[in-house]
């Protein structure tokens, strides 16, 4: 069973993502701020991380960068979730080390395709 | 005495010049007496001298540069003789009376033509005319044609008379000065009497000493009233402190230029007087001239007032514009924030609607339909929110532009995928022609896609069972590489008078359009704004009932990027060199 770590502070989003993922057969873990998320990436060693960029304590950009320089976690794919949908956000998240980018509101079909793509390429 | 008649001239002993000759001559010239007419007072003195000394000739002789000239003469016709043979030229060398009892026995004069010939001077006595400054200008002298013995009494009298002559000469200077001063005084008085300006002499004790008649004319008070009261009595109470300060300055020797205060006229009006004043050396007296500048200052104030009014009017005119800009910025900020806040709950509504649709038992189709309606309304609201967010970002100048080089075919493919479901709704056919499109292009990919999706949605909405064609091609005609994207439809078309307003926010062709066709009314507005910030142009041509063609012309942003990076390069070099 593939393990997905969802780092997201909004409970509704957590629930919506989790229910879809569980239905698809993923095991889902949560972190509600960037700092805890970063710890869990290392300790849980998930197969993939869904990372909200707008997080308390430590934002998504910092989490992505820190995770990608850590030899123990740099292989773990990260999909950035951002509500900004601003021009350049995609480039910025990729530059921060994320492997994919999903704008909010999440179109779940798109997200599922991206998750499968990332997991397949690992 | 061994004189030789044939050589008389050689033996004449000319008197040397006095040491102060230059100054002496200047003093003589200053008297302006040479070659003037005879005057009784001098003639009286020569007559007295002649009587008292019992000499036939008496003279007031003044020694000029090369002559002696007689201001007064008794017993002699000549008005002047050469200086080099003059006895008086000798006399002015002496402090005391100079006297020759018998010139034929005096070697200095024995051969003198005045001795040997007319008027046969045998006896000479001359008292120098010495001024207070020490210049001996000439003599009072007596001459006889026979040798004489001069008594002490006669010597005294001649000396005393010479002092009278000197006195007369000096009075002459005093007289001239007096005349000049009187003339100046008269002019000044005329000036004072006739001046339109207010002229006065005042004491630092606070009283006028003298006032010109213009004071009475301008202020209406009699001179006695003006002199009898302290001048501060006439000054406006608000100007008194300043006036006292100004008088204080004058008392310390400073001049005043253009000091202004208000004076009350006898009939109660207030006049603004501008003063120019100088103090006397000891600071006790002020010489002052004032001008009534009431009218002038009123004019100035009026000018100033109208200038202030113009300034205020201008500020008032500018203010609404500034307020409007500020309000618009505030609105944009508000919308940007609000849109963000609205999206979070919308996410929940849409997310859970989707979940419900997926999870509800298919045996409850009515419930599924209801939830779909919630989802549809939610989607519409979400689109509206997103578009408002985009527009407000553009308006607040916060919409960034990214420069992406992308494959045109790839992006068109993505757009096709996204609009496919829309096209089907109205039984339209969608065709793409990218045969003449550039393989790759640089612009903001997401915005380009959004413009295309919006334009295609728009065409799809207003076209039923028709054709929509998207054509992409290069156009280098303007000398710049442009990528042109044309979206043509065979829809209802747009009336000519609405062609531009369709790009305005919340503006569709008319209200009924919204009811019939739906839409947010923001799509085209966003397309136009995006086209603008990408440096391009979005235009439309349309024929009512036949269809519309939207044309988007975009410049490549790659050139701009290389430009900006090349402009950075030299500065880098420069800093390296500096290091």
Q: How far apart are CA B293 and CA B272, in angstroms?
A: 6
- Tokens 């290091």 sit on residue: B579
Locate the chain A residue with the closest alpha carbon to B346.
A105
For B444-472, what is each residue's pLDDT tens digit? 888 999 899 999 988 998 898 999 999 99
Residue B196 has pLDDT above 90, yes or no: no
Q: pLDDT (tens digit, 9 = 90+) per residue, B381-418?
A: 887 787 877 787 787 777 778 888 899 999 999 898 88
Looking at residue B12, its pLDDT comes to: 60
The number of beta carbons lying within 10 Å of the beta carbon of residue A118 is 18
Helix (H, G, I), strand (E, B) or coil at B210: strand
Q: Looking at the structure, give the CATH architecture of the domain made up of residues B400-562.
A: 2-Layer Sandwich (3.30)
pLDDT at B574 over 80: no
Q: Which string of DSSP letters, residue by residue, matches B445-474?
A: HHHHHHHHHHHHHHHHHT-SS-EEEEEEEE
* Percent share of chain B, pLDDT over 70: 91
Per-residue pLDDT, B509: 52
Residue B482 CA to residue B558 CA, distance in Å, equals 12
Residue in A20, A86, A104 closest to B347 by CB: A104
Beta carbons of B351 and B378 less than 8 angstroms apart? no
DSSP 8-state code for residue B281 = T
Expressed in angstroms, the distance from the first to the final Cα of chain A is: 15
**Residue A81: which domain range?**
3-121
Torsion over CA of B549, B555, B557 and B563, rounded to 10 degrees? -170
HEC string for B120-168: CCCEEEEEEEECCCCCEEEEEEEEECCCCCCCHHHHHHHHHHHHHHHHH
List chain B domain ranges: 5-176, 195-292, 299-394, 400-562
Tell me: pLDDT of A15 over 50: yes
Mean pLDDT across the stretch A44-71? 91
CATH for B299-394 (1.20.1250, 1.20.120, 1.10.287, 1.10.10) = 1.10.287
| Exposed/middle/buried for residue B278 (C-beta within 10 Å: 0-12, 13-18, 19+) | middle
Distance from CA of B506 to the nearest CA of A (A): 23
What pLDDT sits at residue B441?
92
For the sheet containing A78-82, what is the strand order? A27-31, A3-7, A48-52, A78-82, A100-103
Instruction: Report how many domains make up chain A.
Output: 1
Q: Please name every residue paired with B59 in a beta bridge, in sequence order, or none if there are none.
A: B73, B141
- H or E segment and range at residue B319: helix B294-359
Of all residues in chain B, the one with the smallest CA distance to A89 is B402
Strand A27-31 to B429-436 pairing:
unpaired
Q: Looking at the domain B195-292, which fold is it?
A: Beta-Lactamase (3.30.450)
Q: What is the pLDDT of residue B523?
A: 84
Identical fold between B195-292 and B400-562: no
Domain B5-176 has CATH 3.30.450.40: yes
**Which of B355, B382, B402 lies closest to A105 in CB terms?**
B382
Instruction: Please state the rounded mean pLDDT for residues B259-285.
Output: 90
The Cα B13–Cα B85 span in angstroms is 8
Chain B positions touching A19 (Cβ under 8 A) are: 355
Cβ(B481)–Cβ(B443) under 8 Å? no
Between B121 and B358, the higher pLDDT residue: B121
A53: closest CA among A1, A108, A94? Answer: A94
Q: What is the CATH number of the domain that holds A53?
A: 3.40.50.2300
Confidence of residue A121 (pLDDT cuts 50, 70, 90): low
Interval B139-188: pLDDT, tens: 999 999 999 888 999 999 999 999 999 999 989 888 888 898 999 889 88
Q: What does the pLDDT read at residue B408?
A: 92
Report yes or no: B406 at the A interface, CB cutoff 8 Å.
no
Q: Which residues contact B240 (CB under 8 A, 6 or more apart)?
A: B232
CB-based contact, A104 to chain B, within 8 Å: yes
For the question of an ipTM over 0.90, the answer is no
Element (H, E) at B533: helix B523-533
Nearest CA to CA, how far is B376 from chain A (Å)?
14
Query: Token digits for B377?
Result: 């309304």
């Amino acid at each position: 069973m593939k393990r997905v770590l969802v780092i997201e502070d909004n409970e509704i989003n957590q629930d919506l993502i989790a229910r879809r993922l569980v239905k698809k057969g993923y095991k889902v873990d949560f972190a509600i701020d960037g700092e805890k998320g970063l710890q869990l990436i290392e300790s849980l060693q998930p197969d993939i991380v869904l990372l909200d960029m707008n997080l308390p304590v430590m934002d998504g950009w910092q989490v992505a960068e820190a995770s990608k320089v850590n030899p123990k976690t740099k292989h773990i794919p990260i999909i950035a979730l951002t509500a900004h949908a601003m021009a350049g956000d995609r480039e910025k998240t990729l530059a921060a080390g994320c492997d994919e980018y999903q704008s909010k509101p999440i179109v779940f079909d798109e997200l599922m395709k991206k998750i499968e793509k990332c997991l397949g390429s690992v | 005495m061994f004189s030789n008649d044939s050589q008389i001239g050689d033996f004449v002993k000319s008197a040397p010049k006095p040491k102060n000759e230059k100054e002496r001559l200047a003093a003589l010239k200053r008297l302006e007496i040479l070659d003037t007419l005879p005057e009784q007072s001098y003639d009286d003195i020569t007559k007295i001298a002649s009587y008292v000394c019992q000499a036939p000739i008496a003279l007031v002789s003044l020694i000029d540069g090369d002559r002696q000239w007689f201001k007064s003469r008794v017993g002699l016709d000549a008005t002047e003789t050469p200086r080099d043979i003059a006895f008086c030229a000798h006399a002015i060398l002496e402090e005391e009376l100079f006297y020759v009892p018998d010139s034929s026995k005096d070697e200095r004069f024995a051969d003198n033509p005045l001795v040997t010939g007319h008027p046969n001077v045998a006896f000479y006595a001359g008292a120098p005319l010495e001024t207070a400054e020490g210049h001996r200008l000439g003599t009072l002298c007596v001459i006889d044609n026979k040798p004489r013995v001069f008594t002490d009494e006669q010597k005294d009298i001649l000396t005393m008379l010479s002092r009278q002559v000197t006195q007369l000469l000096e009075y002459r200077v005093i007289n001239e000065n007096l005349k000049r001063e009187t003339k100046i005084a008269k002019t000044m008085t005329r000036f004072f009497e006739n001046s339109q300006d207010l002229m006065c002499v005042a004491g630092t004790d606070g009283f006028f000493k003298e006032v010109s008649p213009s004071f009475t004319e301008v202020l209406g008070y009699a001179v006695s009233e003006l002199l009898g009261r302290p001048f501060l009595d006439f000054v406006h109470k608000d100007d008194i402190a300043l006036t006292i300060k100004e008088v204080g300055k004058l008392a310390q020797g400073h001049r005043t230029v253009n000091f202004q205060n208000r004076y009350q006229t006898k009939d109660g009006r207030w006049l603004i007087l501008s003063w120019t004043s100088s103090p006397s050396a000891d600071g006790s007296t002020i010489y002052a001239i004032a001008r009534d500048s009431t009218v002038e200052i009123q004019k100035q104030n009026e000018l100033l007032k109208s200038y202030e009014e113009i300034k205020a009017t201008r500020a008032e005119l500018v203010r609404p514009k500034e307020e409007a800009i500020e309000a618009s910025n505030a609105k944009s900020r508000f919308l940007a924030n609000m849109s963000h806040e609205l999206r979070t709950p919308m996410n929940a509504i849409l997310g859970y609607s989707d979940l419900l649709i997926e999870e509800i038992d298919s045996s409850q189709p009515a419930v599924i339909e209801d939830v779909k309606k919630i989802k549809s309304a939610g989607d519409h609201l979400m689109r509206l929110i997103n578009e408002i967010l985009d527009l407000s970002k553009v308006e607040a100048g916060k919409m960034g532009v990214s420069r992406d080089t992308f494959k045109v075919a790839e992006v068109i493919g993505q757009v096709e995928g996204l609009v496919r479901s829309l096209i089907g709704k109205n039984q339209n056919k969608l065709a793409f022609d990218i045969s003449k499109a550039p393989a790759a292009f640089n612009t903001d990919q997401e915005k380009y896609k959004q413009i295309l999706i919006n334009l295609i949605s728009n065409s799809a909405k207003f076209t039923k069972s028709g054709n929509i064609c998207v054509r992409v091609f290069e156009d280098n005609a303007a000398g710049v590489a442009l990528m042109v994207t044309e979206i043509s439809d065979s829809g209802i078309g747009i009336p000519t008078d609405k062609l531009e307003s369709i790009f305005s926010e919340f503006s569709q062709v008319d209200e009924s359009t919204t009811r019939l066709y739906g839409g947010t009314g923001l799509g085209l507005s966003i397309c136009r704004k995006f086209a603008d910030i990408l440096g391009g142009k979005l235009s439309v041509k349309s024929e009512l009932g036949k269809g519309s063609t939207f044309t988007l012309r975009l410049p490549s942003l790659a050139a701009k990027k290389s430009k900006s990076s090349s402009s950075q390069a030299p500065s880098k070099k420069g800093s390296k060199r500096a290091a």
